[in-house]
Amino acid sequence: MATDDGGRWVFQGPLTMDNAARVLDESEALTPPTDGIVDFRGLLQADSAALAVMIVLKRRALSEGRTLDLASVPESLKSLAIVYGVDKLIDP
């Protein structure tokens, strides 16, 4: 995950079971995005682990009294979220 001048986090690359734990660890080291946005426009490959990461990021923000919006979530992940019944957890 990279930052866009600190305003938002911009995810680039795959987000799968192979790297989800590392992504979460790396996100903890980042300063929260000042705009409260995590942008997934650079997501190359994703599976259900990507949904888990998104939910954890939103819950973490909530527990810290912040809001976090997910931008550019691929339609395939939105569909998967509906199937799993977690679409309300990743919607803004």
For residue range 56-88, list pLDDT tens digits in order. Answer: 999 999 999 999 999 999 999 999 999 999 999
Place of tokens 């997910």: 70
Cβ atoms of residues 3 and 33 within 8 Å: yes
CATH level 2 (architecture), domain 2-90: 2-Layer Sandwich (3.30)
The H or E element containing residue 12 is: strand 8-15
Look up residue 38 and give its two tokens. Answer: 């995590």
CA 79, chain centre distance (Å) = 16
Rounded CA-CA distance 92/31 in Å is 21
pTM: 0.89
Q: What confidence category does residue 30 fall into, taking pLDDT thresholds of 50, 70 and 90?
A: confident
